[in-house]
């Protein structure tokens, strides 16, 4: 039995279900590899944040980069969730799904001029600025458009998030944000710029944090900096603490959204502004699984390999971050287990989902679910090795529907320009 996701993906009468749907039904109809998302799990995570924060004035801005599927974004829109953006593409996707621009924050260390202009024209709540040059750029573009752009300065607090170095963003050696000791000077400059309106202060120290301690340390630091700015005559209505809360992939036990919200509520005390959070993974990560089919078994020396039809082109996290995703057979097997490597079909050794893991015996044709695949799965999928991207399916209760078609072989070259 899985240690995670019970209640969303669980065995019923020996068959793995998502909510009330037998996952065999989905793989039979749409094939594999296929991503499956639980709408109920997304709503449960949203409710957890809200319950934990209680009466703290807040806005939840979903980190679109985690999973930009339109079906997911429409759930966010219906639940009154805003959007955290890192590109004009994410902004357009969120707008198309019905999320209002005034509930969006535009982040990212390298915003192009056309993206800044599009964000100003759309009326996003604020740009989280990463450098003095970007501040000047936003001011110049806003003046040319005859508008004022809402801004916050993203602070780099030099806090160790204790996460994978590739997704650590709050240390002084990282490319993100402005050092704390320079922040007040930048706000004073912004005060005198006619094209910008100071609306907040922001930070984001990293992703997939298993311990909320560094997040709360950042909260305390940001509260102190906000007070200094207010004492200096600079109003700061919004405090954006970013995202970063992790989920359980294997044996980790991170705070739940509700528990993290409770910690924040305690940390904020008599906070008199509006809190912004930018969760991504913690809203959708455990809402998703990747369905796959066993193609072959093989033995090389002392190692047994189980080869799936899903690969690192579909889910790159194990290859990129060394991430461990639990794998369950769709049909429960109470028989003996074996130690195997579960791998994909891609021509790289890094295309490995499980190395020397203990699983029930899997045979060709068996179907499995790779758990905790709702965040940074399809969002980071590629056509590597000439493989079309998977289909996506949404479950709601006892019903399911295709929300994104599987790419075709022809899609591999559809945008190529032929010689005349």
Point out the residues that are catalytic.
347
DSSP string of 363-391, one letter each residue: -TT-EEEE-S-SSSSGGG---GGG-PPPE
Q: Taking the CA atoms of the chain, what radius of gyration do you get in angstroms? A: 23
User: Alpha helix (H) ranges present in 23-131?
Assistant: 23-30, 39-53, 70-78, 88-97, 113-122
Q: Integer distance in angstroms from the first to the last C-alpha of the chain?
A: 58
To the nearest 5 percent, what fractions of the chain are helix, strand and coil?
35, 25, 40
Sign of the torsion formed by the C-alpha atoms of 323, 329, 333 and 336:
negative
Q: Which residue from 293, 285, 313, 295 is spatially nearest to 371, judged by alpha carbons?
A: 285
166 vs 375: CA distance, rounded Å: 16
Q: How far is CA 359 from CA 23, 114, 130, 238, 343, in A?
A: 19, 50, 46, 48, 13
* CA angle centred on 68, ends 259 and 327, rounded to 5°: 65
CA proximity to 37, closest of 398, 396, 380? 396
Concatenated DSSP letters for 187-234?
A: HHHHHT-TTEEEEEEE---BSSBS-SHHHHHHHHHHHHHHHHHHHTT-
Q: Which residues is 34 bridged to in the sheet?
A: 291, 391
The pairing of strands 352-360 and 21-22 is: unpaired
């Amino acid at each position: 039995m899985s240690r995670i996701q019970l209640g969303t993906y669980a065995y019923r009468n020996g068959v793995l279900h998502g909510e009330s749907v037998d996952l065999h039904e989905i793989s039979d109809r749409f094939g594999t590899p296929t991503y499956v998302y639980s709408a109920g799990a997304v709503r449960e995570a949203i409710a957890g944040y809200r319950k934990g924060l209680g009466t703290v004035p807040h806005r939840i801005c979903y980190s679109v980069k985690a999973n930009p599927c339109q079906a997911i974004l429409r759930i966010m829109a219906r639940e009154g969730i805003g959007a955290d953006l890192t590109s004009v593409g994410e902004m357009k996707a969120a707008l198309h799904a019905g999320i209002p621009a005034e509930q969006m924050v535009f982040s990212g260390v390298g915003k192009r001029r056309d993206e800044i202009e599009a964000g100003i024209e759309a009326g996003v709540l604020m740009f989280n600025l990463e450098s003095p040059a970007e501040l000047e750029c936003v001011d110049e573009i806003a003046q040319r458009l005859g508008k004022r752009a809402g801004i916050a300065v993203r602070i780099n607090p030099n806090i160790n998030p204790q996460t994978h170095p590739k997704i650590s963003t709050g240390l002084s050696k990282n490319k993100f944000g402005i050092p704390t000791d320079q922040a007040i000077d930048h706000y004073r400059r912004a005060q005198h710029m006619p094209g910008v309106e100071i609306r907040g202060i922001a930070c984001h120290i990293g992703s997939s944090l298993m311990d909320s301690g560094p997040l709360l340390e950042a909260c305390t630091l940001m509260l102190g900096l906000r007070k200094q700015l207010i004492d200096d005559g600079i109003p700061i209505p919004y405090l954006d603490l970013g995202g970063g809360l992790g989920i359980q992939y294997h044996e980790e036990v991170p705070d739940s959204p509700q528990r993290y919200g409770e910690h924040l509520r305690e940390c904020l005390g008599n906070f008199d502004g509006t809190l912004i959070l930018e969760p991504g993974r913690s809203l959708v990560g455990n809402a998703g699984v990747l369905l796959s089919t066993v193609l072959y078994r093989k033995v090389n020396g002392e190692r047994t390999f189980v080869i799936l039809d899903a690969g690192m082109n579909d889910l790159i996290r194990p290859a990129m971050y060394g991430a461990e995703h639990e794998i369950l057979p769709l049909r429960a097997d109470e028989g003996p287990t074996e130690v195997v490597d579960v791998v994909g079909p891609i021509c790289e050794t890094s295309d490995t989902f499980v190395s020397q893991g203990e699983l029930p015996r899997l045979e060709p044709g068996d179907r499995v679910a790779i758990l905790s695949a709702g965040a940074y799965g399809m969002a980071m999928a590629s056509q590597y090795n000439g493989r079309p991207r998977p289909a996506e399916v949404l479950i709601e209760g006892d019903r399911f529907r295709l929300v994104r078609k599987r790419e075709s072989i022809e899609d591999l070259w559809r945008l190529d320009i032929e010689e005349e």
